Each structure stands twice: as structure tokens, then as C-alpha cells.
Amino acid sequence: MSGHYPFSGRANRVTVFGFFERNLLSLQLQEQYYKWWYDLAKNFIAQDAGLKAARGVDFEHYPYGQHAERNFHLHDYKWATAMIDLGALIDKVILPKMSDEQQHKVEHDHEIMLKGLLAQREKAPRPEPPEVGRYRHV
């Protein structure tokens, strides 16, 4: 399989949040990252008859997943948590159905999209995290 994404493999919301934190992505930029993947998944599912029948209804509401619109931590894990739900679908269902050529295109487009987000960091800076324990729930 082509590409390594923050939600692939044995990832969880902390590893995705670490990706966002390492790249200094604000909540606004995190949502843009999430939305890119959401649109990719929604469009792929719409074009696959079997997936459309099984999972099409899941994309009638934005954002996708059981943790959509939830923010469990004071460190703003909202998009990291939503990305794990969506990423599991992408990693386990969508990417395996893609050809090698499609996977390489996704990897290439992801790289371009991420570079674009990194260029926007000055316009949408990430605020300093609050001084609380990392795993403290709200």
C-alpha cells in the first residue's frame, strides 16, 4: 500500500494529534486536513456501488464517525478524534480497494495538500496549549 498517513497502522487519536501538533496545525487547519480526507472518502464511496449501498448513508452528515463533533480533551482533540474514525474507514476499506496507481495519486495529492496547509500556518496560528495534563478530559 502506498503512503503513510497519521491515521494508518496502529494509530490512535494521540498519534493523530501528535501529527497536528508536530506540524503546528491550528484547529482551522486541522479541519481543512480532515475535510480533504472526508471529501476523498465520500467521493470514492459514491463511485463504488457496494460501498455506496453499505456506507453511503454515513456521509450524509459532516463530520463522519461516532466521535464527530466531540472534543474529549482540553487540548482540542476534536479533529484528531474525528480523523481516527474516518481514517479507519480509509485505511481498512478504501485504500485496499484502490489500484497502486490510485494510491500513488492519493499520496502525491496528500503531499501537495499538506504543503499548502503548512504554508497557511502564519495566517492561522496554533494557540498555545493550556497548562493541564495531556489526558485530562473535559
- Give the whole-angstrom CA distance, residue 127 versus residue 2: 33
Do 67 and 84 form a contact (C-beta atoms < 8 A)? yes
| Residue type at position 19 | F
Domain assignment of residue 37, yes or no: yes
Grid coordinates representing 56?
A: 453511503
Grid coordinates representing 107?
A: 499520496
- Give the whole-angstrom CA distance, residue 44 versus residue 41: 5
The pLDDT tens digits of the residues spanning 38-91 come to 999 999 999 999 999 999 999 988 999 776 666 665 556 788 889 999 999 999
Domain assignment of residue 129, yes or no: no
Q: How many domains does the chain have?
A: 1
Domain assignment of residue 134, yes or no: no
Rounded to 10°, the helix 27-47/78-89 angle is 20
Domain assignment of residue 7, yes or no: no
Beta bridge partners of 73: 137
* Domain range enclosing 104: 13-119
The pLDDT tens digits of the residues spanning 4-24 come to 899 998 888 889 988 998 999
